[in-house]
Amino acid sequence: MEPSRGECLGKTSASPTGKSPRLSARPRARPTAASLKRLVTQIEACRICRDQPNGARLAHEPRPVLQVDRRARLAISGQAPGTRVHASGRPFTDPSGDRLRSWLGIGPEIFYDAARVAIVPMGFCFPGLDAKGGDLPPRKECAPAWRARVFEQLPNVELLLLIGQYAQRWHLAPGEGRAATLTQTVMDWRQILQREDEDGPRLLPLPHPSWRNNAWLKVHPWFEAELLPELRKQVERLTA
Ligand code: SF4
């Protein structure tokens, strides 16, 4: 899913609850491969946004897209599938995915190895297009319905990459990592990465790898010079 320009770089707004529903990800019951498989089957059958929408009904048949395996130590949370991912059924099969893999320093063979990389977007289904042809935001029904349950089944995740404002808004509370703008939140990446949370993985905020952020990348050279080397180091360690 390609973010709009305002969404990439604009102010982040407060979550509806005024606090961030962080991952209370440590499981109530011991997760197993079978329990994760059961959950994925439930998600694949989910039709909440078609049959019980919170607002406008999803205009097309839902096609949830995620990649999970309980062995994964690295997780990626982006926004939601765009048209290409909706068609392929595989996450990040688009130019943003190419750029993200170059940021991570890994190729498709590692990126699509679910045992090494979990991909859990904020919305699992393509949300549709707005009047200007841009992707709509991730469906707001999805994260409350599924997010904590998915991460309960991923007990080995040590680092979660928060790509874009929706993932950052969900996982970072105001004053606890989330700043007023996405730019400032990403600039604070060192402090956020250093934080330890016994209930969840470490977190690292990133901008969206969309072409829409080319200008942002140009005026923030520290991102490629300082953040990406650390990101690649972490990814290499966690996907070895
Ligand atoms: S976006 Fe999420 S909540 Fe909505 S239909 Fe798809 S899986 Fe269900």
pLDDT in tens, the chain (240 residues): 544 433 333 333 334 333 344 565 455 678 999 999 999 999 999 999 999 999 999 999 999 999 999 999 999 999 999 999 999 999 999 999 999 999 999 999 999 999 999 999 999 999 999 999 989 999 999 999 999 999 999 999 999 999 999 999 999 999 888 999 999 999 999 999 999 887 789 999 999 999 889 999 999 999 999 999 999 999 999 999
Q: HSE (CB half, 13 Å, CA atoms) of 73?
A: 9
Q: Give the start-to-end residue ranges of the domains of the chain.
A: 5-11+23-239
pTM listed for this prediction: 0.89
Q: Which ligand 1 atom minimizes the distance to the CA of 80?
A: 1
Q: How confident is the model over 197-224, as pLDDT tens digits?
A: 877 899 999 999 998 899 999 999 999 9
Interatomic CA distance for residues 239 and 106, integer angstroms: 9
Q: Is 64 in the pocket of ligand 1 (CB under 6 A)?
A: yes
The residue to mutate among 124, 140, 149, 150, having the most atoms of ligand 1 within 8 angstroms of its beta carbon, is: 124
In sequence order, which ranges of 45-201 are alpha helices (DSSP H)? Answer: 48-51, 83-88, 95-104, 108-111, 142, 148-152, 165-171, 182-187, 189-194
Q: Is 125 in the pocket of ligand 1 (CB under 6 A)?
A: yes
Q: Which ligand 1 atom minimizes the distance to the CA of 46?
A: 8
| Residue nearest ligand 1's atom 1 by CA | 125
Pairing label, strands 117-119, 159-163: unpaired
- Helices 228-239 and 95-104, interaxial angle, to 10°? 80
Select 5-11+23-239's CATH number: 3.40.50.1370, 3.40.470.10, 3.20.20.70, 3.40.50.1000.
3.40.470.10
